[in-house]
Amino acid sequence: MSITDNLKIAGQYCLPKHALSRLVGKLAAAEAGNVTTKVIEAFIKQYGVDMSEALHESPAHYKSFNQFFTRELKPGIRPLVDDAMTLALPVDGTVSQLGPIHQGRIIQAKGHDYSARELLGGYEDLVAPFKDGDFATIYLAPKDYHRIHMPLDGVLESMVFVPGDLFSVNPLTAENVPNLFARNERVVATFRTPHGPMALVLVGATIVASIETIWAGNIAPTKQKEVVRWDYSGDEAITLQKGAEMGLFKLGSTVVCLFGPGMLAGFEPHLANGVTTRMGQPFATLAAKA
């Protein structure tokens, strides 16, 4: 089956050029008063957004669509698992896939896998620490809370921006578009943790693909057409605690989490394809140190 056929099945499309992305991004950032409020109200109704969890429940509070989409939650609404040996889920969403990284390949969906090396921007020194490690992919739907948090304490070591396509990342597309997460535009953040290496890969999607990190601000969309890497050390070192916010999405998104070999004793038993996640809840158990 051709990629064109796959896209027809998924009912989605790819934006090889980012002009439309930038245009929609400007509209989403526009402060248009009552028009903005009406758009937000329609979005809430269309996608069933639970505004009772939002710090500001009224659609009229948000001056732009982006402010609404990246809304904060009420304090305490997502309690953080406090067991030191248990990782916290980084996002609200739905599990797409999780399991071992086998021979450098990551499962995307039934019948599809992709290269961890490609996912991480082609840098061999970044992918080597995750050989025979574990991964988890979580899809964020339009209704979800779109801020990303740390599963455990970590020190930022590198960030990579990888330009790419803007396919939708919904489950149907993941099942039908080969190499999806290694083709879409993305931001890779690698961390050193007390228990081993960790990477959080923030994958953009249809239309906006806007990705921000708390240390660098807006990374995408951009006119940049080449892979760009930043390394952090010394005075530039950034330490983030478990549960701390590390970035956010504006519109469609997926997070791919990578962990080093032997780092995890296992993911939480109830987590499987299609299971709903809530930020802060138990994610995985760390392996006991020898």
Q: Quickly tell me which residue has 């995750």 as its tokens.
A: 130
Active site (annotated) includes residue 92: yes
Q: Quickly tell me which residue has 């080093």 as its tokens.
A: 260
Active-site residue (options: 18, 112, 146, 149): 149
Active site (annotated) includes residue 253: yes
Reading the block at residue 113, the tokens are: 């896998």
Task: Report d(CA 180, CA 252) in Å as an integer.
Answer: 14
Active site (annotated) includes residue 21: no
- Detail the DSSP E strand segments found in the chain: 86-88, 93-100, 105-109, 112-115, 134-140, 147-149, 154-162, 186-193, 196-203, 210-213, 217-220, 228-231, 238-240, 245-250, 253-259, 264-267, 276-277, 282-286
Active-site residue (options: 21, 96, 210, 253): 253
Active-site residue (options: 18, 92, 96, 153): 92
Does residue 149 sit in helix, strand or coil?
strand
The angle formed by the CA atoms of residues 173, 175 and 179, to the nearest 5 degrees, is 80
Asked whether 157 and 131 are in contact (CB, 8 A), the reply is no
- Asked, as a colleague might, if the bond just before 221 is cis with ω within 30 of 0, I would say yes
- Detail the DSSP E strand segments found in 101-177: 105-109, 112-115, 134-140, 147-149, 154-162
Question: Which of the residues are catalytic?
Answer: 92, 149, 253
